[in-house]
Amino acid sequence: MSGVELVLLGSLHRSTQGEPPSCAVTQEIVASSVTVPELFFDGGPGSHSVSARFRSFGSPAIPHCRPFGKIHRLGCAVIRTTEDYSALFACPSRLSGYPWRMSSTFGQVFRIHTFGESHGGGVGVVIDGCPPRIPVSPEKIQHELDRRRPGQSEIVTPRKESDTAEILSGVQDGLTLGSPIAILVRNTDQRPGAYDEMAAKYRPSHADYTYDAKYGIRSASGGGRASARETIGRVAAAAVARQVLDHFHPGIEILAWVKSIQELNAEVDPQTITGEIIESNIVRTGDPAMVETMIDRIKAIRADGNSVGGMIECVIRNCPPGLGEPIFDKLEADLAKAMLSIPATKGFEIGSGFAGTLLTGREHNDAFRMIDGKVRTTTNRSGGVQGGISNGENIIFRVAFKPTATIMSEQETVTASGENTELSGKGRHDACVLPRAVPIVEAMATLVLTDHLLRQKAIR
Ligand SMILES: Cc1cc2nc3c(=O)[nH]c(=O)nc-3n(C[C@H](O)[C@H](O)[C@H](O)COP(=O)(O)O)c2cc1C
């Protein structure tokens, strides 16, 4: 990588009024420039000391340095490093010492922070750690958002949103600056009135009860943060990440499609499936023979005031070997986390997945062969990942989506004040979330891959 990138590995030891350090937090941050002279963090009240070291990659090499400083008050404090090298370090903590936040951040190096509620002013993302001088096309961002948009076909929610992206920062003359990239999509078709009853009654299998139980407050209208509108930020960020992938490793293909809806199963060859086939139908299945059957199923279930789920399959082709960290940040573990963070997901499997449990080792092992001078496997039950690291074969995984929680049928539930009652859904909803979830699965896979590609570039 040209230029200078810094990775800060810092640990925060916090002690209050002479007590021993009550927590240690380690964070990894990339600063895209050596010129940012300060290290910030919000450490809460008490006395704090920070020790950190910089690992540099690229050129020139950055000497080992230690920040120094103490914080005696709430808020953002400045800690200077001995060498005046630094990064933005965001670590809100409470008196308990627990680094509290509503976990809206994903990624280690290519790091995204999503924001916004379904019926608030807007939703979006701040991307931190995007390398400088990457060409970014607003049209490509908009294209991906259009694929995720509500109201795009007769089988998805009729909410009318253009989901127009505004790039607020971090991009100049079509190139990334290396500074945070903020992308905003304003909400325009809010109808909070449809949620009046649901503000007092918990929707079965939605996030209403658990948000209340956790925070004691929630944005009831449209599901607030639990709404799939939150995923707009992810899709926009992934469209930028895609351009980072294209810059550093052109040729990586990430394609997802609807594999099944209930028991209706699509026959798709992950080696040959194309984006054109998937986008040629409104269900986004990869099997043209199943399109009409799947559409009919979704329409029938919607007409009955009910909902259905299914499975999305995803393939990553031309992924280089070596991506993924071998212990806790295994590529498959990060993919699983990414996928299970998508609303309405209930399962993840990679390669042979759960079906692999039926095979013996002799049947299951992927034999190695040298093919065209490369280490290859003759089968791919590993799904392209071994020991948490990509092996160069296609990465293939599947994600299970439950039937949409909000249905237009009366169901038993309770009120926020603890009485048994009934509730029938109102407002505009997807009877099946899968067609719109396809670009979200691709987006999360893109974010994981980009993060690991940049991490790998720090090593070799
Ligand atoms: C693309 C997409 C669209 C969704 N649309 C709806 C919807 O219209 N109504 C609804 O109740 N849930 C919808 N969901 C799912 C909810 O956001 C989700 O079920 C809810 O936040 C509870 O979280 P959980 O299902 O992950 O436990 C959608 C999810 C996705 C991925």
Is 44's pLDDT higher than 90? Answer: no
> Of all atoms in ligand 1, which is nearest to the CA of residue 345?
26
Atom of ligand 1 nearest to the CA of 206: 22
C-beta of residue 397 within 8 angstroms of C-beta of residue 350: yes
CB of residue 235 inside a 6 A radius of ligand 1? no
pLDDT at 66: 33
Torsion of CA 95, 99, 102, 103, to 10 degrees: -170
**Is 242 a pocket residue for ligand 1 (Cβ < 6 Å)?**
no
Burial of 394 (0-12, 13-18, 19+ CB in 10 A): middle
pLDDT tier for residue 460 given thresholds of 50, 70 and 90:
confident
Q: Which two tokens stand for residue 233?
A: 């930020």
CATH architecture of 111-459: 4-Layer Sandwich (3.60)
pLDDT band at residue 220 under the 50/70/90 scheme: confident
Ligand 1 centroid to residue 139 C-alpha, Å = 27
Span 337-353, pLDDT tens digits: 999 999 999 999 999 99
Residue with CA at minimum distance from ligand 1 atom 20: 206
> Pairing between strand 385-386 and 253-261?
unpaired
Ligand 1 atom index nearest CA of 223 = 21
* Cβ atoms of 415 and 421 closer than 8 Å: yes
Give the distance (Å) from ligand 1 centre to CA of residue 226. Answer: 7
Q: Which two tokens stand for residue 275?
A: 């984006």
* DSSP symbols for 302-347: HHTT----EEEEEEEESPPTT-S-SSTT-HHHHHHHHHHTSTTEEE
Higher pLDDT: 90 or 312? It is 312
Comma-separated ranges of CATH 3.60.150.10 domains in the chain: 111-459
Given a cut of 50, whether residue 358 has pLDDT beyond it is yes
Write a three-state SS string for 343-402.
CCEEEEEECCHHHHHHCCHHHHCCCEEEECCEEEECCCCCCCEECCEECCCCEEEEEEEC
Q: How far is the CA of 148 from the centre of ligand 1 (A)?
A: 13
Q: What is the distance between the alpha carbons of residues 72 and 188, in angstroms, rounded to a whole number?
A: 43
The DSSP bridge partners found for residue 270 are: none
- Could you count the other beta carbons within 10 Å of the beta carbon of residue 22? 15
How many whole angstroms from 404 Cα to the centroid of ligand 1? Answer: 6
* pLDDT of 77 above 80: no
Q: Dihedral sign for Cα 31, 34, 36, 40, please.
A: positive
Q: Tell me, what's the pLDDT at 364?
A: 98
> How much is the average pLDDT of 37-58?
38
Q: State in Å: Cα 170 to ligand 1 middle.
A: 31
254-276 tens-digit pLDDT: 999 999 999 999 999 999 999 99
Instruction: Give the per-residue pLDDT at 198.
Output: 83
DSSP string for residues in 132-194: TT-B--HHHHHHHHHHH-TTSSTTS--------EEEEESEETTEE-SSPEEEEEE-----GGG
| Confidence at residue 427, expressed as pLDDT on a 0 to 100 scale | 82
**Is the CB of 243 inside a 6 Å radius of any atom of ligand 1?**
no
Distance 149 CA to ligand 1 centre (A): 14
- Print burial letters for 416-450: b (CB count within 10 Å at least 16), e (below 16): eeeeeeebebebbbbbbbbbbbbbbbbbbbbbbbb
pTM for the model? 0.81
430 in contact with ligand 1, CB cutoff 6 A: yes
Confidence of residue 99 (pLDDT cuts 50, 70, 90): low
Mean pLDDT score, 133-141: 97
CB 312 near ligand 1, within 6 Å: no
Q: Quick: pLDDT tens for 185-215.
A: 999 987 767 778 888 999 999 999 999 999 8
From the CA of 437, give the closest atom in ligand 1. 1
CB 254 within 8 A of CB 449: yes
Residue nearest to atom 8 of ligand 1 (CA): 429
The pLDDT score that the predictor gives to residue 100 is 56
In the predicted model, is pLDDT for residue 218 greater than 60? yes
Please give the structure tokens belonging to residue 262: 């209930």
Quote helix, strand, coil % in the chain, to nearest 5. Answer: 25, 30, 45
